[in-house]
Amino acid sequence: MNLYKYVSEKLNEKLGFDAKLEIPRNRDFGDFSTNAAMVMAKSAGKNPREIATELLPKIRELDFVSDASIAGPGFINLKIRDDFLWNAVQTAANITKSDKPMTIDMDYGAYNVAKSLHIGHLRTSIVGDTLYRLGRAIGHKMISYNHMGDWGRSMGMVIAWIEKLHPDWPFFRDNFDASADYSKYAMPIEELDTYYPSAAALAKTDEKFMERAQIITAELQNGHPGYNALYNVFIPISLQSMDKIIRKLNMLSFDNNLGERNAAKYAEPVEKILRDKNLLQQSDGAEIVVVKRNDDKKPMPPVMFRNSREALTYDATDIMALYYRKITDNPDKVIYLTDSRQSLHFEQLFRVAELLGMFPADSLEHIGYGTINGTDGKPFKTRDGNAAGLNDIIDMVQSAVRDRVAESGKKLDDATIDEIALAALKFNDLSHDLRSDYIFEPSQITSFEGRTGPYILYTAVRLNSVLKRAGDFTVPQNANMGADERNLVMGLLDFDRTVQSAFDSRATDLVANYAYDVCQLVNTFYHNCPILRDDVDAETRNMRLSLIKTAVDVLGGALDLMGLRIPVEM
């Protein structure tokens, strides 16, 4: 039930005017408020309060309105009838499906093969997963892509490094036998993870090594059998390690783990379209697509399709990936979720897609999120100055929860501790505005007072505990609500609206902050309104129990959208 939408539509219908319904910041003003009179006054050249006085009787005719009054410069404040609210709140946890469902490709994660996940992958993973769940809940057909970095220079670096370690391995021989089984060359993930950083460090000082890596990259892409066989040895190892983190973060698994390598298969058809449309140009030995327009005020460099060493760049593979999605999903929208530093790249990419006639500009969307910084305001690093690994961060939060539990004398199993830790980590990430940077302070994440994920879980756990003790109860037809109960009802009735606008504006922080707001209302109610005490009469008890049930459903719904679960106890 989307109360906001319902009231808004009925009100506009009654007034014959498209007014904007607002929820007053100050609840004393009423449940809803409209500025219709002030907007109408402008075109009519009249006093807003005068018009408001004319509108008031009409508004009072609406059956769900218990009171309407004029305030301030001409706001009309509404109060909703309690019996209407009580009836409405029974379906507060339901999410309204979209009346025009779309097919939406979501590109997030973008994990790199043979490079362990680090803090830079945190937001794209967590927020991407939540956006996906939001879209799905609203009824869109969501298709997720982990566009893996599995075909670029880093692959050449890793292979070059292995060549350095094991020059005697068969992959590097001229008489390589592609039909043999090479699975015995598989290395543990911990070892594989060290290859890229080592190679990258060496390449910085050793030009010859860098050159070798570049040659290998090009040869790999052109089908060199030995390199491809070796590549096929370490790819599954890497995929397994990604999968482990995905499960640790309680993310939905990707519908597609298809990256640059898959995209590169479509080089030919894409290049043909580019040539047919006469879009490819030679420049300094490279092939480029000019995307600059005459009316551009900002610099708009060309898109690099193929570099002077004849390797495909990520510009090229991104175009091909888009082509692949067009011919397989034919989506209404493609949403990319990456670091905001890639904004220019995506603007260029979208222009190429438009030039190719593949996707209109408004069907492609890039959401750029800010960086996660340390207290110094610079990208978060571990104490030794390295980018913090995702596994290390998760472990750190988990051990902090373990300490906290030990301190309190509670006994919780490992699964519960992991769930609490995950809530701390994910809520922190989701509750921040996507577009801005935020500061990641381990001590703040791991202290669980106030505005945190554990606070939300704790609230839900307490509610469940009451429901469990209470046993069966009946939902009363009507309710005589006090202020705390009524405030909670209004909060719960805002769930559907929040979900809708969170997806519409791609703002996952709305869901997280909503959950927190509801918890505050719940906890005030919980504190002030006894339920199972002997002096509470049956009618009141039933009313409060049904309210708690709905609150758990709503909180559970919000938590589910964040990929979190309510523990049994904590």
Partner RNA sequence: GUGCCCAUGGCUCAAUUGGAUAGAGCAAUUGCCUUCUAAGCAAUAGGUUGCAGGUUCGAGUCCUGCUGGGCACGCCA
**Which long-range contacts does 186-189 make (Cβ < 8 Å, 24+ apart)?**
186/233, 186/234, 186/236, 186/237, 187/234, 187/237, 188/237, 189/237, 189/238, 189/240, 189/241
Residue 461 binds to RNA (criterion: CB under 7 A): yes
Nearer to RNA, 241 or 446 (CB): 446
For the CB of residue 205, give the shortest distance to RNA in the complex, in Å.
Answer: 16
Pick one of 135, 149, 491, 563: the residue that binds RNA (CB under 7 A): 149
Pick one of 173, 301, 361, 478: the residue that binds RNA (CB under 7 A): 301
Residue 288 binds to RNA (criterion: CB under 7 A): yes
Interacting positions 20-39 with RNA (CB under 7 A): 20, 22-26, 28-30, 33, 35, 38-39
Interacting positions 45-84 with RNA (CB under 7 A): 48, 71-73, 75, 77
Whole-Å CA distances, 25 to 451, 470, 489: 20, 35, 16
> What φ, ψ does residue 286 adopt, rounded to 5°?
-110, 165
Residue 222 binds to RNA (criterion: CB under 7 A): no
Instruction: Return d(Cα 220, Cα 155) in angstroms, integer.
Output: 9
CA 25 to chain centre: 27
Strand 21-22 and strand 32-34: the pairing is antiparallel
For the CB of residue 279, give the shortest distance to RNA in the complex, in Å.
Answer: 13
| Residue 521 identity (one-letter amino acid) | L
String marking each residue 105-144 x if it binds RNA according to CB under 7 A: -----x-x--------------------------------
Residue 86 binds to RNA (criterion: CB under 7 A): no
Pick one of 143, 529, 554, 558: the residue that binds RNA (CB under 7 A): 529
Residue 295 binds to RNA (criterion: CB under 7 A): no
Residue 238 binds to RNA (criterion: CB under 7 A): no
Interacting positions 420-459 with RNA (CB under 7 A): 420, 431-433, 435-439, 441, 444, 447-452, 454-455, 458
**Which long-range contacts does 464-467 make (Cβ < 8 Å, 24+ apart)?**
464/552, 464/566, 464/568, 465/569, 466/531, 466/532, 466/545, 466/548, 467/545, 467/548, 467/549, 467/552
> What φ, ψ does residue 131 adopt, rounded to 5°?
-60, -40
Residue 293 binds to RNA (criterion: CB under 7 A): no
Interface size with RNA, residues (CB under 7 A): 109
Pick one of 7, 68, 142, 531: the residue that binds RNA (CB under 7 A): 531
Interacting positions 304-323 with RNA (CB under 7 A): 304, 307-309, 311, 313-314, 317
Whole-Å CA distances, 550 to 142, 180, 493, 557: 28, 61, 10, 10
Nearer to RNA, 60 or 410 (CB): 410
Residue 466 binds to RNA (criterion: CB under 7 A): yes
Owner of token pair 């938590």? 559
Nearer to RNA, 163 or 419 (CB): 419
Residue 196 binds to RNA (criterion: CB under 7 A): no
Nearer to RNA, 231 or 516 (CB): 516
For the CB of residue 120, give the shortest distance to RNA in the complex, in Å.
Answer: 11
Residue 299 binds to RNA (criterion: CB under 7 A): yes
Nearer to RNA, 32 or 176 (CB): 32
Best CA proximity match to 543, nearest among 90, 31, 80: 90
Whole-Å CA distances, 133 to 236, 274, 332, 424, 450: 27, 36, 18, 19, 26
Pick one of 2, 214, 228, 238: the residue that binds RNA (CB under 7 A): 214
Interacting positions 345-404 with RNA (CB under 7 A): 345, 371, 375, 377-378, 401, 404
| Residue 459 identity (one-letter amino acid) | T
String marking each residue 163-192 x if it binds RNA according to CB under 7 A: ------------------------------
Pick one of 109, 152, 491, 563: the residue that binds RNA (CB under 7 A): 152
Best CA proximity match to 260, nearest among 356, 350, 345, 152: 152
Nearer to RNA, 38 or 230 (CB): 38
The DSSP 8-state label assigned to residue 387 in this structure reads B
Whole-Å CA distances, 35 to 38, 68, 70, 177, 337: 5, 13, 10, 77, 36
Pick one of 66, 87, 96, 342: the residue that binds RNA (CB under 7 A): 342
Instruction: Return d(Cα 58, Cα 172) in angstroms, integer.
Output: 84
User: 480: alpha, beta or left, given left = phi > 0 and alpha = psi -120 to 50?
Assistant: beta
For the CB of residue 173, give the shortest distance to RNA in the complex, in Å.
Answer: 26
Pick one of 513, 540, 542, 546: the residue that binds RNA (CB under 7 A): 513
Is 6 buried (19+), middle (13-18) or exposed (0-12) by CB count in 10 A?
A: middle
Residue 528 binds to RNA (criterion: CB under 7 A): yes
Contact yes or no for 269/280 (Cβ under 8 A): no
Nearer to RNA, 186 or 538 (CB): 538
Residue 507 binds to RNA (criterion: CB under 7 A): yes
Only segment of 17-25, 51-59, 97-105, 245-253 that touches RNA (CB under 7 A): 17-25
